[in-house]
Amino acid sequence: MSDSTNRQIVLASRPIGAPTLDNFRLEQNEIPQPKEGELLLKSVYLSLDPYMRGRMSDAKSYADPVAIGETMVGGSVCQVIESNHPNFDQGEWVLAFTGWQDYGISDGEGLIKMGMNPQHPSYALGVMGMPGFTAYMGLLDIGQPKEGDTLVVAAATGAVGSMVGQIGKLKGCRVIGVAGGEEKCRYAKEQLGFDECIDHKAPDFAEQLTAACDQGIDVYFENVGGKVFDAVMPLLNTGARIPLCGLISQYNATALPEGQDRMSMLMAQLLIKRIKMQGFIIFDDYAHRYGEFATQMTQWLSEGKIHYREHLIEGLENAPEAFIGLLEGKNFGKLVVQTNQPI
């Protein structure tokens, strides 16, 4: 960290398959200066999320790719260092989108005020931010869980999955998690309150999932894809709902999976069982309902009904390695980089 230079991690090259450290480059430039009506923001926390892998590719998607040589994108919690804007004060905390760098300039557009002394500022990147909001709206608006439903969620201890399962329990569901490794599965049951959690690394994973879902699956919150969905698909009940927010197992793929084409099988299941499967992009589709989510989640947190785990990495320079690990499932909880100390 330097108070005289702005460190930026830029996209050096587009990955083929899994990203490597060679796809990133650390640069140092002058700290930008705010003009009239602008703010200088200093990043304190940076969010690392699976969607960033898609932005490293130039394939057509819902958002423009990061250009070669440009700073990697990402949500951040920042403090106002200098303000030439009437609505923001020096020292104020904001939720921003400055990306993988120490400093950024903003005209105030899109910033969310967090006050002068937020209790847990990094929570705005997790339980109170995009992941928590994704879990809340995806499950409640698309998944529409009912008391007694069986809800299955993959990446069950991740930033989104851990929230989905806990909200499902609050709504009276029987919740089955899927996670990688015994430690994560134990955490899902003992700390998050899941009824069961299945290790997707187990050789008999599909058989274990079938046994755990002896009444079938009413809601499957999809954020992984791959072999997990293969095991889920035959267990889906008539009228099942599938909110779709990600496919992390496929993000590094360079070709279609080998073996039988399962698309016709999936289409038949959707038809015969009248299954609803709906993709969504949280701030594109639900930004107007953020206040509803924030009020409810704040209440649940204050009442101790929601447990939240953060995986904190120190140092902006360690962001690329941490991001690569995220795509391999090495994180345990919401992955956040502390880029700088607060002022």
CATH number for the domain spanning 141: value is 3.40.50.720
What's the average model confidence in pLDDT over 85-95?
96
| Average pLDDT value for the chain | 91
Q: What is the pLDDT of residue 283?
A: 84
d(CA 81, CA 87): 14
Residue 203 lies in a domain: yes
Last residue of a domain, one of 283, 301, 320: 283
Q: How confident is the model at residue 258 (pLDDT cuts 50, 70, 90)?
A: low
User: Which residues have CB under 8 Å from 124's CB, separation 6+?
Assistant: 77, 95, 112, 114, 118
What range does the domain containing 323 cover?
5-125+309-338
User: Which residues have CB under 8 Å from 86's CB, separation 6+?
Assistant: none
31 and 143 share a domain? no
Give the phi and the psi of residue 324 in degrees, each rounded to 5: -60, -40
Q: What is the amino acid identity at position 19?
A: P
Q: What is the pLDDT of residue 329?
A: 83
pLDDT tens string 206-250? 999 999 999 999 999 998 767 899 999 999 999 999 999 876 545
Residue 343 lies in a domain: no
Q: How confident is the model at residue 260 (pLDDT cuts 50, 70, 90)?
A: low
d(CA 290, CA 137): 9
Indicate the length of the chain as a whole number. 343
156 and 266 share a domain? yes
Residue 291 lies in a domain: no
CATH number for the domain spanning 99: value is 3.90.180.10
13 and 149 share a domain? no
Q: What is the pLDDT of residue 265?
A: 79
Residue 314 lies in a domain: yes
9 and 114 share a domain? yes
Q: What is the pLDDT of residue 19?
A: 94
Q: What's the total number of domains in the chain? A: 2
d(CA 168, CA 140): 9
Share of the chain above pLDDT 70, in %: 94
